[in-house]
C-alpha cells in the first residue's frame, strides 16, 4: 500500500465528513460533519502549502550543495603570478 501524503489523507477525511453530512438525518449531526469537513479542508490546504515549501527548500539545498561541490572541485588559485 502506497503512503498517502498528509494533504491526500486530510482531503480524504474531508470527503468522508461530507459524505457523512449528506447521509445525516439529524441537523446537529449534519452540522457537526460539515464543521469537520471545513476543518479537514483547512488542514489539507496547510499540508499542501507545507509540502510545496518543503520541496522548494529541499531543491534549494540540493542546488546549494551541488554548487559547493563544483566550487570545491575547482583548482585553487594562489593569487600570486
Q: Give residue 48's pLDDT.
A: 95
Q: What is the pLDDT of residue 1?
A: 54
Which three three-digit cell numbers place residue 65?
550543495
Residue 51 belongs to a domain: yes
Q: What is the phi/psi pair of residue 80, to 5°?
A: -110, 130
pLDDT of residue 74: 80
77 within some domain: no
Let me know: does 40 contact 13? Beta carbons within 8 Å.
yes
Q: Is residue 31 part of a domain?
A: yes
pTM above 0.85, yes or no: no
Q: Evaluate if residue 81 carries a pLDDT over 60.
A: no
Residue entry with cell 465528513: 17
The boundaries of the domain holding residue 46 are: 6-71
Q: What is the mean pLDDT of the chain?
A: 92
Q: What is the number of structural domains in the chain?
A: 1
Residue 1 lies in a domain: no
**Residues in Cβ contact with 25 at an 8 Å cutoff, skipping those fewer than 6 apart:** none
Q: Which residue has the higher pLDDT, 70 or 18?
A: 18
Residue 45 has a pLDDT of: 97
In this structure, are residues 52 and 22 in contact, taking their beta carbons and an 8 Å threshold? Answer: no
Amino acid at each position: 500500500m502506497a503512503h498517502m501524503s498528509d494533504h491526500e489523507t486530510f482531503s480524504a477525511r474531508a470527503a468522508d465528513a461530507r459524505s457523512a453530512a449528506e447521509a445525516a438525518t439529524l441537523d446537529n449531526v449534519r452540522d457537526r460533519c460539515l464543521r469537520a469537513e471545513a476543518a479537514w479542508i483547512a488542514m489539507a490546504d496547510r499540508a499542501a502549502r507545507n509540502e510545496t515549501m518543503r520541496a522548494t527548500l529541499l531543491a534549494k539545498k540540493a542546488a546549494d550543495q551541488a554548487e559547493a561541490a563544483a566550487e570545491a572541485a575547482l583548482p585553487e588559485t594562489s593569487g600570486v603570478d
